[in-house]
């Protein structure tokens, strides 16, 4: 009964790929989005098979939330980060086949999570785990997403232990050193060169330790 009622509501709200929201409906859109994203995240973690037939509409929903022009305003950031977090859980527990890279791309390019500290720690640990165990999946075709992963790691390390546990930051450092060893020196230098100068200095200290 829960599955049927949840997805009846979900489809009625988000099945259209292009929805125009007036200013008067933005609050309700993000309020409902937070509830839906939380439910999807729980289903992904504890009943992923149930979501597999619905990945197309879920992907459209995530895009509609994350790409909304008001997504990162203070009143909406909680719903936005709930969608990012749920997308990460889909990537780890559900996503497969044609939607794998689409979900990974959407998730990575909306990380790191900065406000919801609990979900931030969960998602950033997830990214470490997937990079360690499912590298081909998370780094993308021909390593396309490696620059973004390095950027995320640098931002998380720069933020300190607020958005990642000490264990996670230590794993990120190991993965950064692994990327440094495995990538062409010029490529790795170019990737690091686009980071803000303070983060570049931080990474030089990390690599020299």
Q: Give residue 1's pLDDT.
A: 42
* Three state DSSP letters for 73-134: CCCCHHHHHHHHHHHHHHHHHCCCHHHHHHHHHHHHCCCCCCCCHHHHHHHHHHHHHHHHHC
Q: Give residue 60's pLDDT.
A: 85
More confident residue, 119 or 24: 119
Least confident of 11-15, 143-147, 176-180, 196-200: 11-15
Band of the pLDDT at 75, cuts 50, 70, 90? confident
pTM score over 0.85: no
Mean per-residue pLDDT, 14-33: 48
């Amino acid at each position: 009964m829960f599955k049927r009622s949840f997805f009846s509501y979900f489809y009625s709200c988000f099945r259209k790929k292009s929805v125009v929201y007036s200013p008067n409906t933005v609050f309700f859109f993000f309020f409902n989005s937070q509830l839906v994203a939380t439910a999807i995240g729980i289903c992904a973690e504890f009943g992923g098979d149930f979501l597999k037939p619905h990945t197309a509409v879920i992907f459209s929903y995530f895009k509609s939330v994350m790409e909304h022009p008001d997504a990162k305003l203070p009143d909406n950031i909680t719903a936005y980060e709930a969608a990012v977090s749920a997308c990460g859980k889909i990537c780890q527990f559900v996503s497969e086949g044609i939607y794998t890279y689409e979900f990974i791309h959407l998730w990575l390019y909306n990380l790191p999570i900065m406000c919801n500290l609990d979900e931030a720690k969960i998602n950033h640990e997830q990214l470490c785990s997937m990079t360690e165990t499912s590298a081909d999946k998370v780094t993308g075709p021909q390593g396309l997403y490696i620059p973004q992963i390095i950027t995320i790691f640098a931002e998380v390390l720069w933020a300190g232990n607020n958005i990642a546990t000490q264990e996670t930051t230590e794993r990120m450092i190991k993965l950064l050193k692994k990327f440094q060893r495995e990538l062409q020196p010029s490529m790795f230098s170019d990737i690091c060169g686009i980071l803000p100068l303070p983060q570049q200095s931080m990474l030089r200290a990390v690599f020299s330790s």
